[in-house]
Amino acid sequence: MAWLKYKADSIFNGQKWLDPEMVLVTDDTGKILDFIPAAAAGEEVRRYQGILCPGFINAHCHLELSHLKGRLPEGQGLPAFLQQVMQTRETAPAEVVEAMRESLDRMYAEGISAVGDICNTAASLSLKREGPMRWVNFIEVLNASDAKAPERLQHFRTLRDRYLELPGCDGQPPTASLAAHAPYSTSPLSFHLINQETAGRITSLHNQESAAEDELYRSGKGAFLPFFQHLGYANSPMPVTGSSSLQSVLPYFDQGQRLLLVHNTYTSPEDLVFAAAHAARSGLDVVYCLCPNANLYIEGRLPPVADLLACGAHIVLGTDSLASNHELSIAAEMRTLLQHFPRLGWETVLRWGTSEGAAALGLHDSLGSLRKGTRPGLVWLDEKLQAKRLH
């Protein structure tokens, strides 16, 4: 068994920087064996300019939409974007699978070790049968009608059960659970059924990606009405509550779930206080997943990072899909955050993209940290902060 020895300008272990004089030792399968002082490391130490860190966690992706890369214009706002996705996503199955394979290979090569992946169909099953990527599959429930809710839920349960038949990875069983798409596309009864179905599990919800979502719940009006008319509704099928969308729908969840709220671009300080209070009351674990490059692509706006930090939010990173992003790269999301919020610093965004992401997806025993005896993947961020997988 060969020993591989790595030294870099900086080594981040998932939680913090290591002493730069330490050398990381792995075997040739990437298993972390030890950390030893450079003076005791002997010959053949591989030296890197830049940062070494554990494999990244992409907490929010839609692998199925990979064939839409470059097809949808930027800056048109969420309601128009969604209509275009519905109109353009139909494509020959072979082309869809080929695009997914390309995305998967590239994500892995650029250091991503696990993905929280939104699934609308069974299209990604064949690719997920083999390693090395770890998948947490969220079977996305899209249903705006209470009348159709029981029948639609049965359809999505059946799809989830197909994902649960996948072989596990690293001795762990496969992970798949139902997830509501968004407050504007999930009827009250659908939320109730999803709440029961996801008791004690990890689930996700697109949250406040556009101002129109809040307006829909506050007044029943706004830019989502043409979207509903396109779906055959004369008016909004959602209840008018007079509150923000998050404050209107979060109370549906009270079964001890871990809920990944994705985007949060328009989430207010009041919403964050409300969410923390509801979470404490109901045993919910709320995680905020940021996808800044997708937010810039669709709405030209960034999430309220300072407000999230001020309330001690659990933050993780995602790429969203190639319909709304130029690449599926966690390193690129980190660069964007640091460009707009330079005071965050690399330590914080690296933690969000490694150990915090692994904890959110329930993968922290094996991924997200450089810990002896584990194979979390090893990533090199070079001097231009481009990511390359070493293991």
Mark 224-251 as b/e (b = at least 16 C-beta within 10 Å).
bbebbeeeeeeebbbeeeeebbbbbbbe
Closest contact distance (angstroms) between CB of 354 and Zn ion is 21
372 to 10, 244, 369: CA distances (angstroms)? 18, 45, 9
Total of chain residues touching Zn ion, rule CB under 5 A: 1
**64 scored as a contact of Zn ion (CB under 5 A):** no
Q: How far apart are CA 2 and CA 5, in angstroms?
A: 10
Whose CA is closest to 269, among 313, 308, 303, 301? 308
Closest contact distance (angstroms) between CB of 124 and Zn ion is 15
Closest contact distance (angstroms) between CB of 114 and Zn ion is 17
Closest contact distance (angstroms) between CB of 237 and Zn ion is 21
Cα 72 to the center of its chain, rounded Å: 21
Closest contact distance (angstroms) between CB of 159 and Zn ion is 17
Stretch that binds Zn ion, among 92-100, 233-241, 319-327, 343-351 (CB under 5 A): 319-327
Considering the complex, state which of residue 53 and residue 136 has its C-beta at the smaller distance from Zn ion. Answer: 136
CB atoms within 10 A of CB 173: 10
Closest contact distance (angstroms) between CB of 352 and Zn ion is 17
Considering the complex, state which of residue 318 and residue 377 has its C-beta at the smaller distance from Zn ion. Answer: 318
Whose CA is closest to 117, among 267, 253, 258, 262? 262
Considering the complex, state which of residue 41 and residue 246 has its C-beta at the smaller distance from Zn ion. Answer: 246
Closest contact distance (angstroms) between CB of 206 and Zn ion is 5
Residues with Cβ within 8 Å of 155's Cβ and at least 6 positions away in sequence, in order, are: none
Considering the complex, state which of residue 262 and residue 378 has its C-beta at the smaller distance from Zn ion. Answer: 262
Considering the complex, state which of residue 113 and residue 324 has its C-beta at the smaller distance from Zn ion. Answer: 324
Considering the complex, state which of residue 320 and residue 356 has its C-beta at the smaller distance from Zn ion. Answer: 320
Q: In degrees to the nearest 10, what's the CA dihedral of 81, 83, 85, 87?
A: -140
Which residue from 140, 320, 333, 356 is in contact with Zn ion, where contact means CB under 5 A?
320
Considering the complex, state which of residue 266 and residue 380 has its C-beta at the smaller distance from Zn ion. Answer: 266
Closest contact distance (angstroms) between CB of 198 and Zn ion is 18
What the block records as the tokens of 311 is 């309330």
Closest residue to Zn ion: CB criterion:
320
What the block records as the tokens of 44 is 């053949």
Stretch that binds Zn ion, among 18-26, 28-36, 87-95, 320-328 (CB under 5 A): 320-328
Q: How far apart are CA 237 and CA 185, in angstroms?
A: 9
**Binding to Zn ion (CB under 5 A): which residues in 244-303?**
none
Considering the complex, state which of residue 58 and residue 366 has its C-beta at the smaller distance from Zn ion. Answer: 58
Residues with Cβ within 8 Å of 196's Cβ and at least 6 positions away in sequence, in order, are: 255
Q: Give me the sheet containing 258-263, strands edge to edge.
A: 202-207, 258-263, 285-290, 314-317
Q: Which residues bind Zn ion (CB under 5 A)?
A: 320
